[in-house]
Amino acid sequence: MFKLIAHVSGKVQMAGYRFRVVIIAKAFDLRGYIRNLPDGRVKIVAEGSKADLERFLAAIRIENTLIKVEDIKAEFFDAEGAYEDFFKVAGERETDARLDVAAEHLKELIAVVREGFKETNSSLSEISGKQDDLKEAVTEGFRETGSSLKEISGKQDLLIDRIDEARDEIVSEVQGLRSDLKGRTDERLQRIESDVTEIKAKIRP
């Protein structure tokens, strides 16, 4: 077993850092304490296995919304077994555990809000991009539609002309058929009348 004495500098006082360190130390089943120093640093004394203490050192190098560890000076000694738990030492004018918890919740809230703004900005950027794409697509669509309408209009005029031509041809053909039919009909009628006249002449006494 070893004893770690570490001095942590940075933004580590009045930021909920000791509260976090206590949680981490308990997770590694370490014994010892953490306290603020008058010069703005934090002192940590922890006892445990060398491997756990090294992992603990890496874990307490915290940097987030409220906490920023800039440097850790650490020394290892033989363990004395003087501690039964890991705890925070608070001075007379220092905040108690409830305010540390409040600071931790505040940190989480700030992180969530910042993350939310990041996501919102990202979403707005995506929407803006999509809006630009949509605008471009609509503009291109109108261009293509305009071109298509012109093509359709031209084809429609051509189609109308062809329909008119076909109609004229049909009318002409129908008129021709009617003329032919009328001529043939008249011719047949004349033949029938002639035949009837002959029949009547033969029937008469």
Kindly report the CATH number assigned to the domain that includes residue 22. 3.30.70.100
Tell me if residue 121 is catalytic.
Answer: no
User: For 167-186, what is each residue's pLDDT tens digit?
Assistant: 666 656 656 666 666 666 66
Q: Exposed e or buried b for every residue in 71-93, given b needs 16+ CB within 10 A? A: ebebeeeebeeebeebbbeeeee
Q: Is residue 10 part of a domain?
A: yes
Note the pLDDT tens digit of each residue in 118-149.
Answer: 555 555 555 555 555 555 554 555 455 554 54
- 72-82 residue pLDDT tens: 999 999 998 98
Structural domain contains residue 55: yes
Instruction: Give the integer Cα–Cα distance in Å for 86 and 83.
Output: 7
CB 100 within 8 A of CB 22: no
Is 73 a member of any domain?
yes
Please give the pLDDT value at position 14: 87
Domain count, the chain: 1
43 lies in some domain? yes
Extract the tokens encoding 91.
């001075």
CA–CA separation, 114 and 195 (whole Å): 112
Question: Across residues 108-127, what is the average pLDDT?
Answer: 59
**Order of strands across the sheet that contains 42-48:** 68-78, 2-11, 42-48, 31-36, 86-89
Instruction: Evaluate whether residue 51 is within a structural domain.
Output: yes
Q: Is residue 157 part of a domain?
A: no
**Domain of 22, in residue numbers:** 2-94
Rounded mean pLDDT of 101-113? Answer: 62
Question: Tell me: the pLDDT tens digits for 12-54?
Answer: 998 889 999 999 999 999 999 999 999 999 999 999 999 999 9
CA 59/CA 89 separation, integer angstroms:
20
The one catalytic residue in 20, 31, 35, 36 is 36
Quick check: is 36 catalytic? yes
User: Pick the catalytic residue: 18, 20, 31, 41?
Assistant: 18
Q: Is residue 39 part of a domain?
A: yes
pTM flag (> 0.85):
no
Q: Is residue 156 part of a domain?
A: no
